[in-house]
Amino acid sequence: MTKIKLTAAIEKVKANGEKAFVPYIMAGDGGLETLSTNILFLQEAGATAIEVGIPFSDPVADGPTIQLSGQRALAKGVNLRLIIKELETFHKEVHVPLVLMTYYNPLLSYGLEKFAEDCERIGISGLIVPDLPVEEMDDLQKALMQTDVAIVPLVSLTSPSERIAKIVSAGEGFIYAVTVNGTTGVRNGFNDQLEQHLAELKELSPLPVLAGFGISTPEQVKSIGALADGVIVGSAIVKAFNDQDLDKIRELIQASKNKVVN
């Protein structure tokens, strides 16, 4: 099946001369009852798509803010099955693509075929699995083959050109360009190689390229977004929801709407 919903949403934003904005939230942080409220708020505020994190006990790619949010969710007994069940209750109200971000163990525990079937039923559009290298993706790709769920690959700053080409060729939905060496979290600055890295990815990839990790201010949304097709913002969104600072979230999203002159 052609995985088009996620890509089409980003391309539509690009056609308007804007940048895609994908906020990340941790499902179950604050209780599962907040999930629908947070997703529908982000949709109304202008998110292009929404990345929904699945809490996991050993989140190797996550920085302190997101680790703590996952621990809060786990402490409330939240898991992938409960999240899928909760999403099912309001998925017809969600009109932007939802992308699940999970590690591989919860998928294996759930069952890949069952997971694929449930994702298709509730309209999930994408999947990010940070600890699943492209060489080991076959089983998951096979399970998702007959669905509209795109497997979004991550490409790091340290990946050599031949590996980047391999990852990009296997990618679906969009290419997730990791902007830092390390875990997620707020950064004051970025590697000097970032501009070249994003330019190489855009040249190689037929899919949109979105930059994520460390982007936390409206200025960074604009400056990093100018180098890519859009941005993904995680820790700053998680913190703002935890602080109940919805204006901060609106400000971050609005920064992607301002047309950037390259």
**Mind telling me the catalytic residues?**
51, 62
User: What's the maximum distance between 2 C-alpha atoms anywhere in the chain?
Assistant: 47
Question: What b/e sequence results for 7-39 when a residue is b if at least 16 CB atoms lie within 10 Å of its CB, and e otherwise?
Answer: bebbeebeeeebbbbbbbbbbbbbebeebbebb
The H or E element containing residue 108 is helix 104-110
What does the alpha-carbon distance between residue 173 and residue 153 come to, in Å, rounded to a whole number? 9
Q: Which residue in the block uniquely carries the two structure tokens 């088009």?
A: 4
Non-local (6+) Cβ contacts of 173 within 8 A are 3, 6, 7, 99, 125, 126, 150, 151, 152, 207
Query: Measured between alpha carbons, how far is residue 45 from residues 63, 78, 101, 231 in Å?
Result: 25, 26, 21, 15
The answer to whether the beta carbons of residues 191 and 181 sit under 8 Å apart is yes
Non-local (6+) Cβ contacts of 169 within 8 A are none
The answer to whether the beta carbons of residues 116 and 147 sit under 8 Å apart is yes
Nearest-CA neighbor of 20 among 241, 238, 195, 224? Answer: 224
DSSP state of 40: H
